[in-house]
């Protein structure tokens, strides 16, 4: 039996400390979320911590934060984890464990990477929780079923992705979607901005992982280097805010200070600016609708000089167009795109394919999309499975041809 959580008073006026369920606590977003919690201990308590297999880090986090529950997706690691956690902390395992944990606390931060985050998103929304969403893949691949779960009374998504968190803040300046002319998503351009296709032929994993402005986990860092991350974010923006694809524009902004903008019907553009620091959007999503008192990423205007903007090079960074194509197709096409990309990125990180072949694997996977109907979660899981199989075959073919 899991104990009640969330009962003491907080730094938020008139409100108890916010109990946070943090799935993916050992990753880049997860560890930064714990920094936010440490920075305002009176405002937050940690109800749940969870990861895939990082037992030592998870155990150390549990001994510091004393959550009611820890979850480990890898069943074989559960026995070891049970010895690492303090007395009174319950250990849950596997996908069912993630689902059980995602209905606890006041706010659920989904910081799991990839399609594996889908059960967390669905369980949190299905139980009427506020979901602080870093795991964009679950919304993108599972949109038809996630949107249904989002209708549950009390359910709400507050985006953690810095661009969508910026849009969420900018949209508060208007009265609704009918006043929105355009969403403008900014992109840093990644480590390969300005390079010609021929200059990118032999790029290494290390070069792709050397992001100029953000320090993130390996999957999203590679996605940033191909602009697939921005493509996924276009779909994410469409799903979050209900704005049509013709009214979502991508602009490259190398300083990563303007995190995105909303252009309203009267021509006014509202932007959110801060230094690139994920603790700001994480704190925004955890504390929403109140803001934290602790600042992260505030701009020092004495140091600040200029902002640059340019259009993305869609010929070199084909993943952006592939994602937009999948988004416009709708249904399960984004699930195929996402699965193809996850397989391709893992293959690139393991040295099986080149950087340029990531877009090819995604394009060939998307080309095999069969327009199957989606009515329940099982359809999304099946689409993901079939798309992965197809993408893996494409990767093997490229390995043999190399
Ligand atoms: N990092 C950023 O700045 C950033 C910015 C915007 C959006 N995002 C999004 O946030 C999400 C997390 O990104 P990240 O960069 O933090 O990734 P990361 O550093 O690779 O961390 C991933 C986390 O997910 C856990 N995990 C992986 N597979 C799991 C599974 N099957 N079940 C449960 N937990 C699992 C990992 O646990 P183990 O440690 O045990 O493997 C780890 O805690 C992604 O969707 C990404 O697109 C990240």
C-alpha count within 13 angstroms, C-beta hemisphere, residue 127: 17
* Nearest of 73, 99, 117, 122 to residue 2 by alpha carbon: 99
For residue 164, the model assigns a pLDDT of: 98
Using the predicted structure, report yes or no on whether residue 12 has a pLDDT greater than 70: no
244: how many CB neighbours lie within 10 A of its CB? 10
Q: Which H or E run includes 263?
A: strand 258-264
User: Among 36, 56, 111, which residue has the most ligand 1 atoms within 8 Å of its CB, making it the best to mutate?
Assistant: 111
User: Among 34, 134, 164, 384, which residue has the most ligand 1 atoms within 8 Å of its CB, making it the best to mutate?
Assistant: 134
User: What one-character DSSP code corresponds to residue 76?
Assistant: G
The CA distance from 395 to 393, in Å, is: 5
344: how many CB neighbours lie within 10 A of its CB? 31
For residue 362, the model assigns a pLDDT of: 98
Q: Are 333 and 366 in contact (CB under 8 A)?
A: yes
* Nearest of 139, 116, 124 to residue 52 by alpha carbon: 116
Q: Confidence band (pLDDT; 50, 70, 90) for 20?
A: very high
Q: What would the mean pLDDT of 134-155 be, rounded to a whole number? A: 98
For residue 3, the model assigns a pLDDT of: 42
| Model confidence pLDDT, tens digit, residues 293-321 | 999 999 999 988 899 999 999 999 999 99
* CA angle at 132 for the pair 131 and 138, rounded to the nearest 5°: 75
For residue 11, the model assigns a pLDDT of: 62
Q: Where are the alpha helices (DSSP H) in 183-263?
A: 205-208, 218-226, 228-241
The CA distance from 321 to 55, in Å, is: 39
For residue 2, the model assigns a pLDDT of: 46
Q: Which residues contact 86 (CB under 8 A, 6 or more apart)?
A: 62, 63, 66
| Model confidence pLDDT, tens digit, residues 211-229 | 999 899 999 999 999 999 9
Using the predicted structure, report yes or no on whether residue 6 has a pLDDT greater than 70: no
Q: Confidence band (pLDDT; 50, 70, 90) for 247?
A: very high
| Model confidence pLDDT, tens digit, residues 178-194 | 999 999 999 999 999 99
Q: Confidence band (pLDDT; 50, 70, 90) for 360?
A: very high
Placement of tokens 């889908």 in the chain? 118
Q: Are 36 and 279 in contact (CB under 8 A)?
A: yes
For residue 337, the model assigns a pLDDT of: 98
For residue 305, the model assigns a pLDDT of: 86
| Model confidence pLDDT, tens digit, residues 107-125 | 999 999 999 999 999 999 9
| Model confidence pLDDT, tens digit, residues 33-90 | 999 999 999 999 999 999 999 999 999 999 999 999 999 999 999 999 999 999 999 9
Using the predicted structure, report yes or no on whether residue 344 has a pLDDT greater than 50: yes
pTM, 2 dp: 0.96
Spatial strand order of the sheet with 107-110 comes to 90-93, 69-72, 44-51, 18-23, 107-110, 130-133, 156-159
Mean pLDDT of the residues in the chain: 95
Among protein residues, the one with the nearest Cα to ligand 1's atom 20 is 217
Using the predicted structure, report yes or no on whether residue 9 has a pLDDT greater than 70: no
User: Among 109, 119, 158, 220, which residue has the most ligand 1 atoms within 8 Å of its CB, making it the best to mutate?
Assistant: 220
Q: Confidence band (pLDDT; 50, 70, 90) for 16?
A: confident
Which residue ranges have their beta carbon within 6 Å of ligand 1?
24-30, 50-54, 73, 98, 111-113, 116, 134-137, 161, 214, 216-217, 219-220, 278
For residue 10, the model assigns a pLDDT of: 63
């Amino acid at each position: 039996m899991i104990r009640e959580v969330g009962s003491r008073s907080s730094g938020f006026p008139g409100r108890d400390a916010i109990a946070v369920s943090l799935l993916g606590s050992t990753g880049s977003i997860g560890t930064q979320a714990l920094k936010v919690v440490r920075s305002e201990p009176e405002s937050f308590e940690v109800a749940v911590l969870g990861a895939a297999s990082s037992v030592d880090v998870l155990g150390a986090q549990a001994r510091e934060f004393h959550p009611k529950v820890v979850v480990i997706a890898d069943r074989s690691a559960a026995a070891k984890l049970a010895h690492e956690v303090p007395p009174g902390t319950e250990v849950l395992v596997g996908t069912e464990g993630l689902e059980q944990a995602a209905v606890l606390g006041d706010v659920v931060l989904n910081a799991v990477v990839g399609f594996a985050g889908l059960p967390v998103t669905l369980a949190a929304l299905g139980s009427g929780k506020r979901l602080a969403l870093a795991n964009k893949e679950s919304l993108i691949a599972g949109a038809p079923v996630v949107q249904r779960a989002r209708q549950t009374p009390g359910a709400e998504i507050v985006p953690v992705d810095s661009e969508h968190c910026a849009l969420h803040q900018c949209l508060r300046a208007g009265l609704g979607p009918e006043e929105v002319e355009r969403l403008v998503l900014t992109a840093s351009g990644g480590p390969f901005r300005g390079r010609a296709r021929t200059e990118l032929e032999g790029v290494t994993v290390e070069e792709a992982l050397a992001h100029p402005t953000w320090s993130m986990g390996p999957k999203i860092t590679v996605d940033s280097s191909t602009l697939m991350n921005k493509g996924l974010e276009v779909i994410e923006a469409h799903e979050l805010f209900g704005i049509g694809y013709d009214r979502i524009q991508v602009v490259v902004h190398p300083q990563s200070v303007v995190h995105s903008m909303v252009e309203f019907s009267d021509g006014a553009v509202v932007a959110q600016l801060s230094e690139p620091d994920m603790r700001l959007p994480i704190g925004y999503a955890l504390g929403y609708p109140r803001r934290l008192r602790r600042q992260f990423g505030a701009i020092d205007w004495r140091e600040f000089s200029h902002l640059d903007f340019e259009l993305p090079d869609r010929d070199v960074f084909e993943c952006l167009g592939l994602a937009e194509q999948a988004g416009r197709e709708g249904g399960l096409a984004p699930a195929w795109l996402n699965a193809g990309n996850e397989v391709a990125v893992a293959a690139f990180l393991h040295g099986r394919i080149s950087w340029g072949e990531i877009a090819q694997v995604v394009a060939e996977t998307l080309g095999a999309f069969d327009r199957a109907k989606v009515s329940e979660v099982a359809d999304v899981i099946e689409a993901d499975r079939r798309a992965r199989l197809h993408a893996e075959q494409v990767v093997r073919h490229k390995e043999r041809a190399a």
